[in-house]
Amino acid sequence: MKYAYFPGCSIDASAKEYAMAANAINKLLDVELIEIPDWNCCGSIDAVHAYNPLLSVTLSTRNLALAENMKMDVVTLCSACFFTLSRASNMLRENADIKSKVERAINDAGLKYAGEVKVRHYMDVLANDVGYEKIRQKVTVPLKGLKVAPYYGCLIVRPPGIQKFDDPEHPTSMDKVIQALGAEAVLYPDKTSCCGASLVITDEEVMMEMTKHPLLSAKNAKADCIVTPCPMCHFNLDAKQKDIEDRFDVEIGISVLYITQLIGLAFGLSPKELGLHRNIVSPDKILEKLQVESKHGQNVVGKH
Amino acid sequence: MKHNSFRQITPEMTDPSFIEEIKKMPGGDKILDCIQCGVCAGSCHARFAMDYSPMQVLKMAHLGLKDKVLSSSTIWICASCYTCASRCPRGLNIPAIMSGFKNMAMKNNVRAPIELKPKFHKAFTEIVSKYGRMHEPELKMKITNKANFNELKDNVTLAMRMFRKGKLKLQPSKLNSSTHFSDIVKNVLKEEAKK
Amino acid sequence: MKEPKIGVYICHCGGNISDTVEVAKVKEAIAKCKGVKVCETYEYMCSKPGQDMIERDIKEHKLDRVVVASCSPRMHLDTFRGAGKRAGLNPYLLEMANIREQCSWVHDNKEVATNKATALIRGLAERVKHLEPLEAQSTPVNRDVAVIGGGIAGILASIELADKGYKVYLIERNPSIGGRMAQLSKTFPTLDCSACILTPKMVYVSQHPNIEIITMAEPIAVNGSPGNYELTVRIRPRYVDTANCKSCDKCAKVCPVKKFSRHEEGLTQEKCIYLPFKQAVPNAYVIDRDLCLWFNKGVCRVCEKFCPSKAIAFDQKEETRQLNVGAVIACTGYQQLTPELSKEIFDGWDVFSQYSWGLHPDVVTNLQFERLMLQGMHRPSNGKPPKKVAFVLCVGSRMDKGIQYCCKIGCMNSIKHALLLLKAFPEAEPWIFYTDIRAHGKGYEEFYSNARDHNVKFIRGRVAEVVPNGDNLIVRAEDTVLGSQIEETFDMVVLSPALLPNFGTGQLSKMLGVDLGPDNFFLERHHKLRPVDSKVEGIYLAGCALGPKDIRETTVETMATASKVATFLGRGEVKLSPEKAYIIPENCNNCGECIKYCPMKAIESTAEGVKVNSISCTGCGICVPKCPVEAIDLKHSTDAQLMAQIQGTIEEDGDRPRILAFLEKTTAYGSADLAGQTRVQYTPKVKIIAVPSTGRVGLKHVLYAFANGADGIIFIEGDDSPFREEGIREHVNSMKKELSKFGVESLRVVSMTTTLPQYDKVVNLFQTFDERVSKMGRIAPEKRQKITEALAGGKQK
């Protein structure tokens, strides 16, 4: 199964490990993500969009046009990119004025977009194209006894008009993957609350207050780790976790994995190829629980 | 002067063409469908940081209170999480409307309660227009108040944390010039100038 | 033909007409028409002085034709015919010109509206010259009544009619009558016990000699005509003999199959052989065939072994019965919104999901709360009394599409529930989360005040989410009055789901031939003056089938419905319209073409020639243009009348394109009236002529219209007509072929089918067709001349 892959700026920089782990597990799942050549920034949810909406939609459309040449569905790893590209696709269909402006901007540079590209999130591919059964079959290290809190965040489940592969209020796709891996999907009240990703640079205080909720409620539910399908959520939950602990004087200490990293562990892949050394909150406790370290004889996770 | 115990919405405070302006934004055509039920305000994950709730901003828009809307912190704090939009019984796309208000505020040079925000939007757009992709170090540099020691310190701390894990991209990515990315950006700015 | 003496009366309608149409100018123009002896204007023609004026003039001036130019004939045709009758004028010699709903209300330019009004009136003035006096035939009616739906509306309607001496068949789909009221605990605002009001009526109905209750029954076909309907009913077997069953419960005690109780809204279980509820009428058990082991696996039948009264009857079969009745009442009630229905209606969105419905046992609906009240209020999760209860209103109601209306009873219900909760547990804390409190009825505001006095907390803000938190439930909302978010923990959450027409309403409406409104409930004939009539004579509506309402309003409405039925059937005969097809024997060559096209199969070939059955004939007129030798015509819509109206309407000053729209006179015409009622503006170039069916208009009329000045012709058929969709399309296409021979472009004729509520579709067609015809310009005079010659030469019919 081949897909036109849109990495997005986060994967390019702070979230490389998400893609590393995805590439590692894709080999086993018969999934091939072929990077769209020379892709540009997705257009941003609002950073560019509020400043220059036409530019934002045009940026998205350039990517869709490049993908159209590949004649495949576009798959993103990042929830925000998924939203932005889908939004542009819808706008081109529904707003004739924007469509003609965007077309003029890209046609002049020799690009055409016929409006045929389908945009999907990687979780959708896992849930619907690969299927939970196949994932279960590839498990060599069942994650027995591991309590995992699936954190969906916002843009992979909302708005209902853009995505339809999972329930917007009570999604279960990651829960099912977690169960297929042999782990326990923990119930906690903040599966779909917002981490405040778009506020991280300008309103850090607000973002930390928002990200605090899923961190604390996952901890209260006795989760060993949190998994997420979005690099922006991951940054807030992982890279900013210490700052949140300091700011609110709370103890959290929960490791945050990308869903692909969790799957990779269950598939028996090494922490190194899953990029676990790049996670900021140490995943040591999990690796110990799973005795992964002893299996591969590698002590690759550095201290935070 | 007689004390007026009733707050008035005077003609000077309202802009009768505001509603028409809003109707032209994406999502704005439904602005008058709002019945102020409050589900958006109740659902909003960032409400705690806003001076007015999303519902109140829509109500102010109904009354033509353009200045109040564009100078609220609400429009800037909206995190585009779409929880409100998925639950709104009247199908309003509130994040799109908030984005439209941001755009209006920046175009009208309305002073934002968080001054950093318009700066951020401008800087982000400039960097992406230049390289085709985001380059966080440059973004941080552009918007950090270099006179503020604490801010600088926090930036450095974060940068080190990321750098140690190989998550800091020091050099910006560059797109292949044969794909005419910069031409496209120029074309967009030309389209905008046509208005 | 003797020169007719026409009286024309132009109504001001209190400004509704005269503010836009300059009635004095119209009067001046019409007074000049040949044959118009009297032409007057007046403030309110329908008032007593207005009607007196007509009567007086008829007598004084010996008028033998009258045109009243005012509102839609659907409003007041009978009123004015009545006035004419009092002066000795045959009702079929009086016509109305619709210059309100189809003129003054939809055009705001005075000059244009005045010209159009003049044209419309002139059309009618020409038409009336060709009218003949007609007498309605009487046909005896069957004085039995079928009531479909055994809830409170059906029960009360049956009692009213039965007490008046009518025989009533009370048809109920479920195994017992009683409907929703049987599930309720107490009613607002009086806190009467619902069962105490309802059950005596149920018993009365069961013992009344004039009422036959048929349960497990649904209508599957309705045939016949008003006053003489044949209702075919399918009766499902209950596998229990109601005559023998003593309700001893021995069968249920031994039955091995459990199921969730429908009466208890799924809160408790009962057996597969069950009594619907203790006070059920008929008070007999019923077997759920879908779960019964005998029907699924061929084993068990233990109930039969233990029944002391030989009441189990596994060999019962489905039956059909044909009921001959004169009138039908549809009072089929409502159902509540569910997650499945929500996904269908709201394009995949489940409105219940944000409230964690189904994820925690203590999130219940208001109906479930009623059952809990009756079981002894407790939390479904642990059986303990609830301490803090949140009431969430408007779940799925008042949306921008799908379900736009208010459920009407949610607010009062939750206030009632709060007060009942406090009565049971004085320490309890009920919180009501609302968007608006609607306390519109008698005693309702006082009831609301009472709740506030008891410290029921009211939070103005639609609940954002309900999140399970261990044993309890967190409710989050914005208190919009205080302007802050609140988060409170509750042990029970009660949802008020939107109300929908009961399942099967759509099918029943098609069966009965009645319309549904834009909200999908049954549509009444007129919002103010005929709120319980359907558009079909002899079929009446009552209760929540018409729209959500409380018990008191249901009762009031039902009394009205019963009264209407009694009036309809009271005289033992119903007058049939004389507007029927008739054969002109001297022209008829017995070719039988008309027989092929009649949708009612009302024409037959007999030994004495082709004959029309005037009882089956519904007067659609489709047969008339099909006759190759002009041997069939339609009373009150004869060729001569139609031609005259076409000519009078199309004639006007000015060189703007002229468009004639032939609208089927009930649904399509009603839709155009609805556009007028909502004051949608549209192009005045379109002038409407009502026809029994657009199939009545044939090629010769269309040619005549083009010859006399028309530039475009519209046909609109009602979607309930047998001529809809395919019928009208083929008819129009065959005409277009002939028109092209005269160089008349086929784009100058257009057709459409519409439902009554889709007036926006109708207006849209008018506008776009006007644009098209305006672009094409007027038809060249030479072409018109050619058509005139062809018509005169008798080449075209």
Residue of C nearest to A171 (CA): C353
CA distance C299 to C278: 28
Which of chain B's residues have a Cβ under 8 Å away from the Cβ of A46? 80, 95, 99, 102
CB C538 within 8 A of CB C576: no
Residues A262 and A153 in one domain: yes
Pick from C340, C345, C350, C473 the residue to mutate for testing the A interface (most A CBs within 10 Å).
C350
B168 pLDDT band, cuts 50/70/90, is confident
Strand ranges inside C396-471, DSSP E: 429-434, 457-460, 465-469
Residue of B nearest to C482 (CA): B53
Residue of B nearest to C436 (CA): B37
CA distance C24 to C14: 14
Whether B103 has its CB under 8 Å from any CB of chain A: the answer is: yes
CA distance C446 to C453: 10
Residues C671 and C794 in one domain: yes
b/e sequence C463-497, b meaning 16+ C-beta within 10 Å = bbbbbbeeebbbbbbbbbeebebeebebbbbbbbb
Q: Kindly determine whether residue C461 and residue B38, on different chains, have CB atoms separated by under 8 Å.
A: yes
Q: Which of C556, C573, C590 is the last residue of a domain?
A: C573
Which two tokens mark B120? 């951020």
**Domain of residue C591, CATH code:** 3.30.70.20
**Domain of residue C78, CATH code:** 3.40.50
Whether B23 has its CB under 8 Å from any CB of chain A: the answer is: no
Q: Who among C354, C468, C469 is closest to A169 (CB)?
A: C354
Three-state SS string across C535-586, please?
CCCCEEECHHHCCCCCHHHHHHHHHHHHHHHHHHHHCCEEEECCCCEEECCC
Residues spanned by the domain of C597: 580-634
Which of chain C's residues have a Cβ under 8 Å away from the Cβ of A169? 350, 353-354, 465
In this structure, is residue A128 part of a structural domain?
A: no
Q: List CB contacts of C375: < 8 A, sequence separation 6 or more.
A: C264, C267, C268
**Domain of residue A151, CATH code:** 3.40.50.11810
Whether C469 has its CB under 8 Å from any CB of chain A: the answer is: yes
pLDDT at A302: 37
Q: List CB contacts of C449: < 8 A, sequence separation 6 or more.
A: none
Kindly list the partner chains of chain A, i.e. chains with 3 or more CB atom pairs below 8 Å: B, C
Residue B66 parent element (H or E): helix B66-70
pLDDT at C179: 96
Chain C, window 358-387: residues with a beta carbon less than 8 angstroms from a chain A beta carbon = 359
How many whole angstroms from its chain centre is CA C559?
Answer: 18
Residues C49 and C152 in one domain: no
Residues paired with C232 in a beta bridge = C221, C322
Kindly list the partner chains of chain C, i.e. chains with 3 or more CB atom pairs below 8 Å: A, B
Helix axes C726-740, C699-707, angle to 10 degrees: 50
Distance from CA of A188 to the nearest CA of C (A): 8
Burial of A114 (0-12, 13-18, 19+ CB in 10 A): exposed
The number of distinct structural domains making up chain C is 6
Residues C599 and C728 in one domain: no
In this structure, is residue A87 part of a structural domain?
A: yes
Residues A49 and A141 in one domain: no
In this structure, is residue A64 part of a structural domain?
A: yes
Alpha carbon distance, N-terminus to C-terminus of chain A: 38
pLDDT at A297: 46
Residues C421 and C493 in one domain: yes
CA distance B65 to B12: 9
Alpha carbon distance, N-terminus to C-terminus of chain C: 23
Domains of chain B by range and CATH?
12-107 (1.10.1060.10), 116-194 (no CATH)
In this structure, is residue A161 part of a structural domain?
A: yes
Whether A170 has its CB under 8 Å from any CB of chain C: the answer is: yes
Q: List CB contacts of B19: < 8 A, sequence separation 6 or more.
A: B31, B32, B61, B62, B64
Omega cis (within 30) before C308: no
| Average of per-residue pLDDT across B29-42 | 96
**Domain of residue A71, CATH code:** 1.20.1050.140
Which of chain B's residues have a Cβ under 8 Å away from the Cβ of C477? 38-39, 42
Which of chain C's residues have a Cβ under 8 Å away from the Cβ of B38? 435, 460-462, 477-480
Residues spanned by the domain of A15: 2-122
In this structure, is residue C387 part of a structural domain?
A: yes
Residues C381 and C280 in one domain: no
CA distance B39 to B5: 31
Distance from CA of A192 to the nearest CA of C (A): 11
Residues A160 and A267 in one domain: yes
In this structure, is residue A196 part of a structural domain?
A: yes
Residues C414 and C368 in one domain: yes
CA distance C356 to C468: 7
Whether A91 has its CB under 8 Å from any CB of chain B: the answer is: yes
Residues A102 and A173 in one domain: no
CA angle (B22 as vertex; B20, B25 as ends), nearest 5: 120
CB C216 within 8 A of CB C238: yes
Residue of A nearest to B165 (CA): A278
Residues C387 and C424 in one domain: yes
Omega cis (within 30) before C282: yes
Residues C345 and C436 in one domain: yes
Whether C489 has its CB under 8 Å from any CB of chain A: the answer is: no
B1 pLDDT band, cuts 50/70/90, is very low
| HSE of B186, CA atoms in CB hemisphere, 13 A | 6
Q: Kindly determine whether residue A14 and residue B168, on different chains, have CB atoms separated by under 8 Å.
A: yes
The number of distinct structural domains making up chain A is 2
pLDDT at B9: 82
Which two tokens mark C683? 């192009």
CA distance A27 to A269: 11
C425 Rama class: left (phi>0) / alpha (psi -120 to 50) / beta: beta
pLDDT at C653: 67
pLDDT at A292: 60
Residues C704 and C776 in one domain: yes
A302 Rama class: left (phi>0) / alpha (psi -120 to 50) / beta: beta
Residues C328 and C456 in one domain: no
In this structure, is residue C675 part of a structural domain?
A: yes
Rg (CA), chain A: 19
Residues A79 and A194 in one domain: no
CB C55 within 8 A of CB C86: yes
> Comparing C-alpha atoms, which of C440, C443, C437 is closest to residue C460?
C437
Q: Kindly determine whether residue A170 and residue C359, on different chains, have CB atoms separated by under 8 Å.
A: yes
CA distance B65 to C276: 59
Q: Which of A122, A151, A181 is the last residue of a domain?
A: A122
Q: Kindly determine whether residue A239 and residue B158, on different chains, have CB atoms separated by under 8 Å.
A: yes
Residues A71 and A208 in one domain: no
Please list the ranges in chain C whose pLDDT falls under 70: 1, 653, 794-797
Q: Which of A94, A122, A150 is the last residue of a domain?
A: A122
| Average of per-residue pLDDT across B164-176 | 82
Q: Who among C400, C464, C465 is closest to B33 (CB)?
A: C400
> Comparing C-alpha atoms, which of C45, C116, C105 is closest to residue C81?
C45
Residues A25 and A139 in one domain: no
CA angle (C186 as vertex; C181, C192 as ends), nearest 5: 100
**Domain of residue C302, CATH code:** 3.30.70
| Number of inter-chain CB pairs under 8 A, B vs C | 71
b/e sequence B93-111, b meaning 16+ C-beta within 10 Å = bbbbbbbbbbbbbbeeebe
Which two tokens mark C752? 């459409």
> Comparing C-alpha atoms, which of B138, B131, B119 is closest to residue B185?
B131
Chain B, window 145-164: residues with a beta carbon less than 8 angstroms from a chain A beta carbon = 158, 161-162, 164
pLDDT at A219: 96
Distance from CA of A83 to the nearest CA of B (A): 11
Q: Kindly determine whether residue A168 and residue C353, on different chains, have CB atoms separated by under 8 Å.
A: yes
Please list the ranges in chain A whose pLDDT falls under 70: 292-304
Q: Which of C528, C555, C573 is the last residue of a domain?
A: C573
| Number of inter-chain CB pairs under 8 A, A vs B | 179
Provide residues of B within 8 Å CB-CB of chain C: 30, 33, 35-44, 47-48, 52-53, 55-56, 83, 86-87, 89-91
Which two tokens mark A15? 């979230």
Q: Which of C573, C595, C616 is the last residue of a domain?
A: C573
Give the dihedral of Cα atoms A285, A286, A288, A294; nearest 10 deg.
-140
Q: List CB contacts of C132: < 8 A, sequence separation 6 or more.
A: C92, C93, C635
Residues A288 and A170 in one domain: yes
Whether B46 has its CB under 8 Å from any CB of chain A: the answer is: yes
CA distance C148 to C507: 13
Please tell me what DSSP assigns to residue C355: G
Evaluate if residue B4 carries a pLDDT over 70: no
**Number of Cβ atoms within 10 Å of the Cβ of C519:** 16
Residues A63 and A144 in one domain: no
Residues C12 and C95 in one domain: yes
B10 pLDDT band, cuts 50/70/90, is confident
pLDDT digits (tens, 9 = 90+) for B87-122: 999 999 999 999 999 999 999 999 888 888 999 999
Which two tokens mark C757? 């509520």
